[in-house]
Amino acid sequence: RHLNHILITHGHLDHILGLGGLLSTFMRWETIDELNIYSGRWALDRIHDLLYGVVLRGAQPPLKLRMHEVSPGVFFEADDFTITAFPVHHRGSDCLGFKFEEKSHRPFLPDKAEELGVPPGPQRRDLVNGKTITLADGRRVRPDDVLGALKPGVRFVHVGDAGRTEELVEACRQADALVIESTYLESEAEMAKQFSHLTAKGAAELAVRAGVRQLILTHISRRYREKDVLVEAQAVFPNVSVARDFDVYQIKQM
């Protein structure tokens, strides 16, 4: 029900065809009221043709289907995080990567709250939200009494297909996690260059240059074994994993 915002890096078919089945499922289950799709103009044009021409065949969907054209810069802001788009070099126009940044916050200090006699529950939540509270005995507790120093939030970067990494270093700088393709191994670096893709070594070198903390590789060619991809990447950047369908990652500051 809450999967109603979808970000698309670019318009190649292997990255958009799944939207057809997803929309069909949503319409059959009637699980959501609206679906928002974000991407560059070229990708949105192809997505529109797919959904309205093939899936809907000219009919109107029973839910609100909104397509949002995205340009580089901050394009989405919630109470606690922002999403920034940045350009990525790949075949086709308007290819994008996405950076999710949790807003800076002051961590709640439970030991301080216990010491001051603040019970678990709504009063602690009020303090986190910046409100002064009054305890049952009449004492007033201010947010400054139970909140730590301001700390930057978690930073997560997602890059789809990419032909080179020079322009990506700043966008990926100090990311707590980077998800990026590594279609080829270095033994086929020329083929990677020809088709505008990365090798596992190239992705790992980007992680080193950008000071990334965790590297998650995806979009692996079936010609390779997972362990060979890991060996090549870990020789450059140790904290690497290869993503599999339905994997769940918890991203934290190191």
Query: What is the DSSP code string of the chain?
Result: ----EEE-S---HHHHTHHHHHHHHHHHHT--SEEEEEE-HHHHHHHHIIIIIIISTTPPPSSEEEEEE--SEEEEE-SSEEEEEEE--SSSSS-EEEEEEEPPBPPB-HHHHHHHTPPSSHHHHHHHTT--EE-TTS-EE-HHHHB---B---EEEEE-S-S--GGGHHHHTT-SEEEEE--B-GGGHHHHHHTT--BHHHHHHHHHHHT-S-EEEE---TTS-HHHHHHHHHTT-SSEEE--TT--------
d(CA 129, CA 147): 10
Give the pLDDT score at 247.
Answer: 95
Would you say residue 2 has pLDDT above 80? no
- Judged on CB neighbours under 10 Å (0-12, 13-18, 19+), 61 is middle
Instruction: Please say if the pLDDT value at position 138 is more than 70.
Output: yes
Q: Break the chain into its structural domains and give their ranges.
A: 1-70, 71-105+151-254, 110-146
The catalytic residues are 14
Is 174's pLDDT higher than 90? Answer: yes
Q: Which CATH class for the 71-105+151-254 domain? A: alpha beta
Instruction: For the full predicted model, state whether its pTM sits above 0.85.
Output: yes
pLDDT, tens digit, for every residue of 67-125?
Answer: 999 999 999 999 999 999 999 999 988 999 999 999 998 999 999 999 999 999 999 99
Q: Residue 1: its pLDDT value, please?
A: 64
